[in-house]
Amino acid sequence: MENLKTNVVVIGGGPGGYASASYAASCGKKVILIEKNERLGGACLNCGCIPSKALLHVAEAVYGARAAEKFGLGFSEPSLDLAKLTAWKSEMIEKLGRGMKDLGGRRGIEIIQGRATFLDQRTVKVADKRITFEHAIIATGSTPALPKSLKISGPLVMTSTEALQLQEIPKRLLVIGAGYIGMELGIVYAALGSKVTVVEVLPRILNGADSDLIRYVEEMAKRRLEKLMLNTKIAGLENCQNQVKAVIDAGGNITEELFDRVLVSTGRAPLTAELRLEEIGVRLDERGFVRTDSAKRTSVPSIYAVGDVTGGVMLAHKASCDARLAIDSIMGFPIPKSFPLIPAVVFTDPEVAWCGVTENEARSSGTPVQVIRFPWTASGRAVTMDRTDGVTKLLIDPATEKIIGAGICGKGAGELITETVLAIEGEMTAKELGRRVHPHPTLSETVAECAEMFYGRSTSAFSRKRNG
């Protein structure tokens, strides 16, 4: 058994783990990064946000070609070369993975492939190596969780991992769950030729986002999907030769339908089983997620945890933020009293993004708030793009006039939301935001125009005048 010593050992090479290793190395720490797979990047790069966004780009191209006729451009119906598409996606992932590995090496990070197991609070084992550490960071991420109630498995039932491998395009696809993953992949498969039915037990899609933001997404989905069924649950699934028979319960109306594939996107579970965490004193919650404090420290002072494995908001950029907090704590740097603002983005068509206080949260908590909405029908840039299916909204404290929340629905919303993040964290007033000069014509103007509407001063949309 080879014995190694290091300042920081990081278990998991996804967004949280890789960022932890990079930050620690940049601070002068000796770092060993353990990754069970051959390629770094975790679920995000290999079977999550990167391949899904690549395929959403393809879907956008398909829908764009179909919509071009109204501009006087004629295209034949797009055809799909699945092998070429899969090769392009794989090449892209491989390129990004190589870049991560090379950059890690340049930073002096030692990368070891294998599955890690804690021996005690200061030692971890991987393959034939025993690693003694000063601090450890758990960044093993999460995996798609199949509901036990469905009681079915096999090649016809997919999680997002299998769905992104694109082995074939089913004629009829059932998507269970209308959250981030379900809506994004449902749109992808519909663009690639599947007749897609999305079933959601809740009365709305994208639970967590405000209803005025998702309205445009829902309208678009109804046009592109075969069915979008809300307030509906899957009462059962049964293998039926080369298909799956689904028992669909729509408020007591029971029907049965056959599908070629089923995509289950109803939640994720932490990857902690092999680590022996509870045996060394690391506390987990009732779902198996690692408990941490505000600095991402676990119940064992020498061990931290970041990203999906800690539960809560499961986003790559949140995991990277966690990593910064953990390394700052290890280095003895000051830890912010409040957690940084984490924006959320759903890459549907149109995109939905939000940050800070949502309208739902404000109403339920009784927080005084004035909601201002700027419709994209009033945006010159949106009109030129034929993408007026959107809205920019700000939530403003009427007493201080400070921005406390924001939401955007529309093309490129994920690129636009960062300005509002800065405005909220900088405690900007609507006046300060509205007077920032934005280039014309751009979609970013919708943010400034929305702020100006608070005072009745927008040049593109009417609102009642406010003193100030």
The CB density around residue 142, as the number of other CB atoms within 10 Å, is 23
Measuring CA to CA, how many Å separate 90 from each of 40, 76, 85, 95, 164? 14, 27, 9, 9, 10
Measuring CA to CA, how many Å separate 108 from each of 6, 35, 58, 300? 12, 16, 37, 27
Map tokens 């799909």 to a residue: 80
Q: Are 40 and 111 in contact (CB under 8 A)?
A: yes
Task: Enter the DSSP assignment of 284.
Answer: B
Note if 440 is an active site residue.
yes
Q: Are 315 and 382 in contact (CB under 8 A)?
A: no
Q: How far apart are CA 397 and CA 407, in angstroms?
A: 15
Q: What angle do CA 376, 378, 384 make, to 5 degrees?
A: 75
Cα distance between the two ends of the chain:
72
Q: For the residues of 99-159, what is the DSSP string, one character each?
A: HHHHHHHHTT-EEEES-EEEEETTEEEETTEEEEEEEEEE---EEE---GGG---STTEE-
Given the residues 57, 135, 317, 440, the one annotated as active site = 440
CA 307 to chain centre: 12
Tokens, residue 205: 């899609």
Q: What angle do CA 455, 456, 458 make, to 5 degrees?
A: 105
- Relative to beta strand 2-11, strand 129-138 is parallel
Q: How far apart are CA 215 and CA 219, in angstroms?
A: 6
Closest CA to 265 of 173, 195, 342, 190: 173
Q: Are 261 and 158 in contact (CB under 8 A)?
A: yes
3-state secondary structure of 192: coil
What contacts 24+ positions apart, CB below 8 Å, involve 75-81? 80/169, 80/192, 80/193
Q: For the residues of 36-83, what is the DSSP string, one character each?
A: SSSSSSHHHHHHSHHHHHHHHHHHHHHHHHHHGGGGT---PPP---HH
Q: Residues near 442 by Cβ (< 8 Å), separated by ≥ 6?
A: 381
Tokens, residue 29: 């720490």
Q: How far apart are CA 359 and CA 209, in angstroms?
A: 9
- Residues annotated as catalytic are 440
